[in-house]
Structures are given as C-alpha cells and as structure tokens.
Chain A
Amino acid sequence: MPAGEGLSERVLWAIGAIFALLIAASIATAILKRRAPGEATAELSRRVTSWWFMITVLTIAIVTNRVVSTVFLGFVAFLALKEYLSLIQTRRVDRLILLFAYWAIPVQFVFAHWNSYGLFLTFIPVWMFLFLPMAMTLTGRTEGFLHAVGTLSWGLMITVFSLSHTAMLLAADPETAGPAGGAGLLLYLVALTQFNDVAQFTAGKLFGRRKIIPAVSPKKTWEGFLGGLGATILLAAAAGPFLTPMPFYIAAIAGAIIAVAGFLGDITISAFKRDLGVKDSGGLIPGHGGILDRVDSLTYSAPVFYHAMHFFVFSGRI
C-alpha cells in the first residue's frame, strides 16, 4: 500500500462484519419486540435504529478519505464539548473564553492530522492549560474563578483531548500502523469500545447481581463487567491480527485494556452527570441520550489504547 493513501481492503471487510452484526441485532430485536411488546423492547429498538445511523455515518466518514474522517472526529469532539459546556455552570464573563476553548478543537485535530506527536501532546495539556486561566484572569472577575478554570480544563481534556486520540490513530505512520493502516486501528478501537459497552450491558441484563459501584452507576454489575471484558478480549484477539500489527495474544491484552478503560470512562461520565442531576447528557441520539452518553467509554479507551500502542507497538518494543 502506498504511504498513507488509500483505504486497506481489510477495513472494508471489518465494516462489512460490523454491518452483519447490526443486521443480526436488528433481527433479534424484531423477534424480541414481537414476543414481548412494551417500553423496554421499544427502547431497545430505538437504540438499534440509532446504531444503524451512527455506524453508517462513521462508515461514510472512514471510507471517504482521511481529511473527512478527521473532520468528522473533530465534529464529534465539538458536539461533546458543547454538550459538556451546556450542562455545567459557566460564568457570563467567560463567554469569549469558551469560544477560545472551542477553537482549540480545529487546532488539536490539525496537529493530530499531521501526526505531530509533540504538538498533539502539549497543545491542550500545556498550552491551553496555561492560556485559559490566564484569559480568565484578565477578565478581572475572581468570583467563581477556580470553579470556572477547573471545569473548563477538565472538560476540554475529557472531550477534546481524549477524543482527539482517535484522529491520532488514524494518522498513524503506515510503516508501524499494521496491515489495515491507521483506519484499521481507529476502527479496531471504536468497534471494540462500543462492542464492550453492548456486551457489558447485555451480560449485566442477563446475569447481573453484584453491583460494582451503586452510588455512581446503579446498573453496573460485576457480572456485566466481566462478561463484557471476556467477550471483548475474544473479539479483540480475533480481530487484532487482521486490523492491527499485533499478534492475537498481544491483541487480547489490548482488548482487556480497552474493556477496562471503557468501563472506567463510562462510570466517570456517570459521576459527572450524577453530580449535575441529569440522567442523560442530552437528547441528540434517540434511545442513547446525548453524544457524551455514547462516547463516554471512548473518552478513556481512546487515550489509553493510543498511548499503549505508541509505547509498546509503534516503537517496536513488542
């Protein structure tokens, strides 16, 4: 494959497999709906319909070209940051500073697109981290300063910085990205993260008894978590050699990392929502809630997976 250009056929096959899974899910949902009509199955059906929509959009974004894919990922980060800033308490004097935070998105994703590791890694955690409080200081209003700085910094990190790792995977050097290129890695991460969500949810519904952390997320159980973890490891090991440079036994570890990080991202966003007293972060995606409800796991799995790949795999340590 020529350097960085063109989409590997393997990505298309993987997308085909995802759609096959989606068709299976739709058939299963239709059967359930016929057997047990009611609000629960109607909700499930809304979720599956939203999955069709989301996976179709993601597919179009991935197969068009890398610029479109990166713009799409940046747009998801924008929606996440917007949802976050709309939910939290902000100060009127900070309106323009929030605008600066929004402008960090295109900059961050351009750095990711260039695969410029140093700029990518320092722009938000160093430069925006220093710039935003300085700008807030210059507004001259100290009342609520710490709350404003703290919430804006965390929000920018958890939405934009975390999610921008997806674009960084996409931009991975073709020499080290493996047989399906950066797009293969991106698909691997996103598909496994979402698969883990669904597997944890399903295992929890079927076998869930012992709660993990009821104060934050009352529906999360050990059975659900472990069931999701097991299923994700299996899928990761099977898909790893096809989509990534990892042999199956390393890919299994990557799967475990994604499952655990995904779970932690999920409950972290839950803690944030619980603090604000909202159940869903928004109403953008029918049956799912807002964009943050959908990418909550990814806010942890994307950076953790990327940096594990960067340290162990891209560098040739494994």
Chain B
Amino acid sequence: MTKVLRIAFFLLIVRPVLLIVLGMNVRGREHLPRRGPAIVVANHNSHLDTLTLLALFPLRDLPRLRPVAAADYFLQNKWLAWFARNIIGILPLDRGAMKKNPLADMEAALDKGEILILFPEGSRGQPERRAEFKRGVAFLAKARPATPVYPVFMHGLGKALPKGSFILVPFNCDVIAGAPFHYTGSTEAFMETLESRMTALAAKGHFQPWE
C-alpha cells in the first residue's frame, strides 16, 4: 500500500510540480547511475533537493533510492517520520550520535545494491551558497571503495523554497550531473576531488548570485 502511495506521490504531485511550477534544466543526465550500489552526492539548498533528485530517476528505481537524512529532524514527530520513511524512503542518520560505526546502515544499504543520496553539507544552510562538505562521505567511500560516487550540482531550488520558508516561488532549477569517480588513496584526496568536481559542475552554469 505504501508502495502505491509512494509512486502516486511522485507521479501525481512531485513530477507535475517540478515540471510545471518549477521547471528543470537537467544536464548530464546520462551520468546518473542506472543501477546500485552507488553514492549520489549533491549540494543542499532546499527540501526540494531530495524530491528533485528522486524524480530524475525512472519510477521503477524508486524502491532502490535512499536519501540519507537527519534522524533528529525527520523523525521528530510520528507523522513526519511516517512520511519520511515510507514516502520519501529516507535512511535516517543520527547526527552526532556516539555509535561504534555511524555508517553501518549506509554500508548495509550499499551492500544491498541501493543508491544512496547524500548531502555532505549536512544541512540546507544558507540557500544557494555552498557550505564545506563534511568528511563522512569520504569514510563511506573508503569503506566501499568499489562503489562509484556521482557528483550532482543543483541550483535554484534554494530560491524556490529556502530553509525557513513555506511559500513556493516558481524558479527554474538546474541540475548538473557529472561523471562518477572512486575512492583512491586518502580521505583528503577524496574530499579534494569531490570539491573540485562540484566546482567544475557549478562553473558549467551561469548562475547569478542571490543575496
């Protein structure tokens, strides 16, 4: 039942809104992973980021897509928790929890062949301004070095629905997907590669500042 609801939600609400109210310019769609395991890494501006990334994949891939999201935010009440778990299909992450291996759930998901969606900025933060990527993603890539990492740069959704706002203002959004890369050598080298890939993707667009 929730499976049907999930598909209906994406087919009847998310996709029409993205297509009609917002409008997407997608570049490099051919780079997106066709099968798991894979790690999709994106910058984070808005709640719409997750929905947009999920909508880029065919509907049949939906069950295998797992956006990694903060447990303290999305599981704070039972309605949101139900929605986040069943409709969005999040993989909850305990921010700042003292666990033996905080990445265990993600590694298990990758081992099942799922596609993880990660926002290493850790929070939506200031819209349309990139914050420093946190290093967790490097440790995940190190733990599963055979899994390809797909960088995706997004622009515009932070204008349409920034943190702290509930009113959607139409803006075209840009999604620029890049070629995948793998973990090699050190976490520092990985983070540097990720940063430079992201910067290169961002430079493909002509984005005006948003102050």
Residue numbers of A with Cβ under 8 A of B are 78-79, 82-83, 85-92, 95-96, 98-99, 102, 144, 276-278, 282-284
Q: Are B172 and A83 in contact (CB under 8 A)?
A: yes
* Chain B residues bordering chain A, tally (CB within 8 A): 20
- Alpha-carbon gap, A154 to B191, bound state (A): 43
Picked from A82, A90, A95, the residue with its CB within 8 Å of the CB of B172 is: A82
- Asked if B210 is at the interface (CB within 8 A of a chain A CB), the reply is yes
Q: Does B56 contact A (CB under 8 A)?
A: no
Interface residue? B132 (CB, 8 A) = no
Question: Which residues of B line the A interface, CB within 8 A?
Answer: 23, 25-27, 127, 156, 159, 162, 165, 167, 169-173, 206, 208-211
Given the complex of chains A and B, what is the CA–CA distance between A85 and B170 in angstroms?
9
Q: Is the CB of B170 within 8 A of A283?
A: no
Are A79 and B23 in touch, CB under 8 angstroms? yes
Identify 27 residue pairs between A and B in the complex whose beta-carbon atoms are under 8 Å apart, listed by A's number: A78-B170, A82-B23, A83-B172, A85-B170, A85-B171, A86-B23, A86-B159, A86-B173, A87-B208, A89-B208, A89-B210, A90-B208, A91-B210, A91-B211, A92-B159, A92-B210, A92-B211, A95-B165, A95-B167, A95-B169, A96-B169, A99-B169, A276-B206, A277-B206, A282-B25, A283-B26, A284-B23
The smallest beta-carbon distance between A166 and chain B, in angstroms, is 20
In the complex, are the beta carbons of A102 and B210 less than 8 A apart? no
Determine whether the beta carbon of A283 is less than 8 Å from that of B27. yes
| Bound: A278/B206 CA distance, A | 7
In the assembled complex, which residues on chain B have CB atoms less than 8 Å from the CB atom of A102? 169-170
Q: How far is the CB of A53 from chain B (nearest CB, A)?
A: 15
Do B208 and A96 touch (CB < 8 A)?
no
- In this complex, what residue of B is CB-closest to A281? B172
- Report the separation of the CA atoms of residues A33 and B23 in the bound assembly, to the nearest whole angstrom: 32
Interface of B is mostly: loop
| B208 & A283 in contact (Cβ 8 Å cutoff) | no
CA distance A278 to B127 in the complex (A): 23
Is A282 a contact of B172 with CB atoms below 8 Å?
yes
Q: Report A-chain residues with C-beta under 8 Å of the C-beta of B25.
A: 282-284
What is the distance, in angstroms, from B72's C-beta to the closest C-beta of chain A?
Answer: 27
A271 smallest CB distance to B (angstroms): 16
Chain B neighbourhood of A276, CB < 8 A = 206, 208
Supplied contacts A90-B159, A102-B170, 19 more A-B pairs, CB within 8 Å: A79-B23, A83-B23, A87-B208, A88-B208, A90-B208, A91-B210, A91-B211, A92-B210, A92-B211, A95-B159, A95-B165, A98-B169, A99-B167, A99-B169, A276-B208, A278-B206, A282-B172, A283-B26, A284-B23
Shortest Cβ gap from B160 to chain A (Å): 9
Distance of A200 Cα from B162 Cα, bound (Å):
43
Best-buried of B26, B156, B172, B209 by chain A (most CB within 10 Å): B172
Contact (Cβ within 8 A) B211 A86:
no
B156 touches A86 (CB 8 A): yes
Distance in angstroms between the alpha carbons of A39 and B192 in the assembled complex: 36
Chain A residues with CB below 8 A from B169, complex form: 95-96, 98-99, 102
- Beta-carbon contact of A144 and B211 below 8 Å: yes
A86→B171 contact, CB < 8 A: yes
Give the residues in chain A near B127, CB-CB below 8 Å: 92
Taking CB atoms, residues of chain B closer than 8 Å to A282 are 23, 25, 172
Minimum CB distance partner of A276 in chain B: B206
The residue among A78, A87, A283 with the most chain B CB atoms within 10 A of its own CB is A283
In the complex, the chain B residue whose C-beta lies closest to that of A284 is B23
CA distance in complex: A98, B208 (Å): 16
